[in-house]
Amino acid sequence: MSFRYGEYDEVRVNRKKFFDALSVPEENAVVAQPEHGKTVVDVTEADRGMGIAVPEDSLLCDVLVTAKPDTFLFIVVADCMALLFFDPVRQVCALAHAGWRGVEAKVPQVTVAHLQEKYGCDPRHIFVGISPSLKADSAKFKEMEQAKLPGWEPYVYKEGEFYHADISRYAYDQLVSAGIPKGNIEQLDIDTRVDKRFFSHRRSDEEGLPEGRFGVLVGIKSF
């Protein structure tokens, strides 16, 4: 699903299959190219199609937000998290990309704050889904930058010579601290390194496999 790792024509075919399966016109989608930061971009109908056929047209940001029906938000991920936000009261949705650097940048909290300030959302009304991602058992390294950073202490531990980081739990806790009720958060307990239905940068790197990315889409359909 990624132009970076797949042949252009193959990616175009795969994306069309993906959108057709969801009955979503791909020309109505907006693609984000994450920067591993916390940049938020609000999109409207005028942005539809950005990044779908021309990779260079993707919006350089880590969070896409829209309150426009039939304007869909799309990113590709592997071990990083995709966070899907929806407020049924204010009828607004968001899609955020967060690897460990995004979590360090407080992307979950930044997204909730933006929804509050820009769209008047009440965190108690927001639902959040967290995609499959690299879990703590697989996020292991002999050297880990997070181990030296403030705030990571509860989420980094050492077993033998390896450090482990529970990145998804940190993201979850940030959402809760931002006011999202625990009952409104759905986190899939799927480790992309282990579950071969999903692409994993970590697995590809360790086993010398081709890289790939899977797609994540969120939007509000008009009926």
- Check which CATH number belongs to the domain holding 205 and give it: 3.60.140.10
Identify whether 145 is part of a domain: no
User: What percentage of the chain carries pLDDT values higher than 70?
Assistant: 100
Q: Residue 63 is part of which domain span?
A: 8-133+181-218
Residue 126 lies in a domain: yes
| Residue 61 maps to a domain | yes
> What does pTM read for this prediction?
0.96
Number of domains in the chain: 1
Distance from C-alpha of 56 to C-alpha of 147, rounded to nearest angstrom: 35
Q: What is the pLDDT of residues 111-124, one digit of tens each?
A: 999 999 999 999 99
Alpha-carbon span 3 to 59, nearest angstrom: 14
- Is 164 within the bounds of a domain? no
- Burial degree of 91 (CB within 10 A; 0-12, 13-18, 19+): middle
Per-residue DSSP letter, 71: -
Q: What is the mean pLDDT of residues 157-167?
A: 96
Tell me what pLDDT residue 106 has. Answer: 98
The tens digit of pLDDT for each residue in 24-76 reads 999 999 999 999 999 999 999 999 999 999 999 999 999 999 999 999 999 99
